Amino acid sequence: MAAAHEPHPHIKEVLISREQLDVRIRELGAQISEDYRGKDLLLVSVLKGAIYFMADLSRAITIPLSLDFMAISSYAGGKQNTGVVRLLKDLDEHITGRHVLLAEDIIDTGLTASYLLRILRARGPESLRICTLLDKTVRRIVDDLPIDYRGFIIPDVFVVGYGLDFRQIYRNLPFIGVLKDEVMEAT
Ligand code: IMP
Ligand code: MG
């Protein structure tokens, strides 16, 4: 049975279907389970965009782990990243000496991830890696960003769904889709 939001009237194209997400996330989970076997893994993600990915990735990982969340505001809710990152909620857990894996929904310019890496690294984790579901490689302006796990490389298009929003809407779409131009242009 098709989900109620599929197809959605504001969506031009489904870029990554829920089935493709499912398969890829299970592969990432298997790889991470292997790489972190016997280690104290703390999966960290950033509210709100990464919560769907975090929920599915954590269930695809078969070794014991803990979860923690941060909240930041990276731009004013439109299409442009201003480069201004504000920490709205810090982690609950101490990360010193622990194996931290940052689960990100999307890395675009890389500014947000590089800011997060900087503040987390300063706390002395035993290891610190990034797992991003989506990577818009062509948009990168931070050129030394180490990405250890990536789900999909996507082209330079604005996508929504599976946690990603346009002005806080569309996060609950179960796939990654491209918004119609007229929806993006309407103010
Ligand atoms: P960066 O700092 O430019 O790498 O941007 C990271 C943040 O920008 C993500 O966590 C998203 O919140 C947002 N972002 C970048 N591209 C998209 C997109 O295509 N759709 C929705 N949000 C996006
Ligand atoms: Mg966002």
* Amino acid (1-letter code) at residue 12: K
Q: Which of 81, 145, 168 has most ligand 1 atoms within 8 Å of its beta carbon, as the pocket-test mutant?
A: 81
- For residue 12, CA distances in Å to 3, 6, 110 come to 17, 12, 26
Confidence of residue 6 (pLDDT cuts 50, 70, 90): low
CB 92 within 8 A of CB 68: yes
- CATH fold group of domain 17-73+80-156: Rossmann fold (3.40.50)
Please indicate whether residue 49, judged by its CB atom, sits closer than 6 Å to ligand 1.
yes
Joined tokens for residue 61: 């990982």
- Residue 2 CB partners (closer than 8 Å, separation 6+): none
Report the sign of the C-alpha dihedral through residues 86, 88, 91, 94, in that order: positive
The confidence score (pLDDT) of residue 143 equals: 84
pTM: 0.92
Please indicate whether residue 177, judged by its CB atom, sits closer than 6 Å to ligand 1.
no
Residue 109 CA: which ligand 1 atom is closest? 3
Residue 83 has pLDDT above 70, yes or no: no
